[in-house]
Amino acid sequence: MIRIESGQVSTRMVAHEVTHLWQQRHYLIPAAFLGAACLRQPAWNCNALEAHADAVGEAAVMAGCSPGDFGWPGWAPTDCPLPDPLAVRP
């Protein structure tokens, strides 16, 4: 389950959190993110999981997605091409 404060909901945030669910479900972190820099996390919170989730969040924004494309309630989907977590690179 994902919880985001209502005023903090954005495409980047929802994609980031959904990526963490994907990582947990698949027990996977793409090797390219081992040692990669985080795009949004402070240094003290930067690790491969966070770097990957940040990159997928950025890719979703660049693709023109909305939170609705990830099934977030109250947001209309745009039918954007959702980023494939395995295809996103740092």
Task: Quickly list DSSP for 53-85.
Answer: HHHHHHHHHHTT--GGGGT-TTS------PPPT
Answer whether 2's CB lies under 8 Å from 22's CB.
no
Domain-embedded: residue 1? no
**Pairwise CA distance, residues 8 & 58, whole Å:** 16
Query: Does 10 fall in a domain?
Result: no
Structural domain contains residue 13:
no
- 8 is a domain residue: no
Domain range enclosing 82: 18-89
Which residues, 6 or more positions from 60, have their beta carbon under 8 angstroms from its beta carbon? Answer: 11, 12, 14, 15, 69, 70, 80, 82, 83
Q: Are 69 and 61 in contact (CB under 8 A)?
A: no
Over the stretch 37-86, which tens digit does the pLDDT of each residue have?
999 999 999 999 999 999 999 999 999 999 999 999 999 999 999 999 99
Residue 62: its pLDDT value, please?
Answer: 97
**Does residue 7 belong to any structural domain of this protein?**
no
* Position 24 in a domain: yes
Domain count, the chain: 1
Structural domain includes residue 11: no
pLDDT digits (tens, 9 = 90+) for 14-31: 999 999 999 999 999 899
pLDDT at res. 3: 87
